[in-house]
Amino acid sequence: MEKTQLQPKIVFDCFAEVNKIPRPSNKEEKMMAYLMDFGHKLGLETLQDETGNVLIRKPATPGYENLETTVVQSHMDMVCEKVAGLDFDFENDAIQTYVDGDWMKAKGTTLGADDGIGVAMQMALLADDSIEHGPIECLFTRAEETSLGGASGIKPGFMTGKYLLNLDSEDEGEIFISCAGGANTQAFFDVKKEAAPAGSFFFKVEVQGLVGGHSGDDIEKKRANANKLLARVLYKYLDYGVRLVDIQSGGLHNAIPRDGYAICCVPVEYKEQVRADLNVLAAEFEQEYFVTEPNMRLEMSSQPEQAQVIDQSSGDRLIKALVGVPNGVFAMSQDIPDFVETSSNLASVRLNGNVIRISTMQRSNLTSKRLNACAIVRSVFELAGARTETNTGYPGWFLNPKSPLLQIAVDAYERLFGKKPVVRAIHAGLECGLFSENYPDMDMVSFGPTLRGVHSPDEKLLIPTVQMVWDHLQEVLRNIPAKK
């Protein structure tokens, strides 16, 4: 399939425009300016709040003026991840997309369909005057991927709609009505540098090629965490008095880490033993993850002699804390089958100067369970001598099975496709949770086309599902209730 044949054409044309515009989280100024200009050129009321969110209002199609106002919402920022060694500047370069069968992918980077395809659908709604709908407000939020800062900054009254359609879900045929809340816990190890022991063998241990993924929606898929694997290797090397020189592992706070490395040294007499142990560990890891991590690599390379190493006490405590801190699923839901209730992700471990900073993320649909998960993670690091802090986080979006909008969305889907959609919750943060704080009476659902590998360079969009969601979105808008 050629790009020019993609359907719906107006949506994919808009998506192509979106991917020309750099839009890293917290650096969305170019996207904000583009959307403001887009709305003004269409002659539509276009607003921006003090947080940077953009809202474009479009009047009803003739004959639909009596319908309640509906907000259609997505976030303008994207996760910026690339394959190792790729020369790509997310602040200036356009995403390069290509078609592979039924999938759209990007060349070595995240695709940005999370949530650029939602932005594209909103732009298409605004630009196409043939679509039937009541009054709509297209809301484009910022900083969703890092802090949900855009959604948290929206004040009462900026939106006026009674209903909200969030276009930030990743499984066509599923309608989401609840999401997890989340918080970030960080640990800081203050380390000392000292002269490297004489007679040392210096080497680099690398974990590469993991699948990674979204730390919420993919956390139950039994994928390996690069930080945890690296910690297991380093823990084995404690037997030989390993000393750390550097550690740089993992990436974004909301991504399962795909790769990482540590530079270390051991007394030269253990040179062959550490290599042999790495081969044993590589075989063990392969056996443990032969289904989920077919491209996993565990490698060692000799390094030049280093002048300084991290003091023994700090290095040992760090390694033991990384081994000990819980990671993955903490608890499954008691009332929703096969649904993750509480989890934690060990996201990154990075030395900068004399501080090793560790980033983790805890999620739960229950605030009390999330707070407890944060306490568990902090306790492990504090016992190892680290300083810790947990941010205020963001709330979950609580289940409303009697939602009128949900029934409209379900009925619309059945009419279009002759089957029932799946109604479910998601173990990831959606901005609906924050909207519900300042707009407690707003009725919301979330749906979107099928995405895989989000938050990683493997991100891909299932092309046929875009047409399905586009049709579903229009059918829902046609059937919004009239004002009372």
Active site residues: 77, 144
* Strand pairing report for 260-267 and 243-250: antiparallel
Asked if 60 contacts 51 with a C-beta cutoff of 8 angstroms, the reply is no
Site of tokens 């540590």: 262
Euclidean distance between CA atoms 362 and 369, whole angstroms: 9
DSSP conformation letters of 7-48: SSHHHHHHHHHHTTS--BTT--HHHHHHHHHHHHHTT-EEEE
Residue 206: helix, strand or coil by DSSP?
strand
Euclidean distance between CA atoms 279 and 271, whole angstroms: 13
DSSP conformation letters of 113-146: HHHHHHHHHHHHHHH-TTS--SSEEEEEES-TTT
* Strand pairing report for 174-179 and 422-426: parallel
φ, ψ dihedrals at 429, nearest 5°: -80, 130
Token reading at 48: 């921006």
Asked if 15 contacts 9 with a C-beta cutoff of 8 angstroms, the reply is no
Token reading at 241: 């008095």
Burial of 87 per CB tally in 10 Å (0-12, 13-18, 19+): exposed
Those residues with Cβ within 8 angstroms of residue 461's Cβ, 6 or more apart along the chain or in another chain: 103, 104, 105, 111, 113, 117, 449, 450, 451
β-strand partners of 358: 187, 349
Those residues with Cβ within 8 angstroms of residue 450's Cβ, 6 or more apart along the chain or in another chain: 170, 171, 172, 461, 462, 465
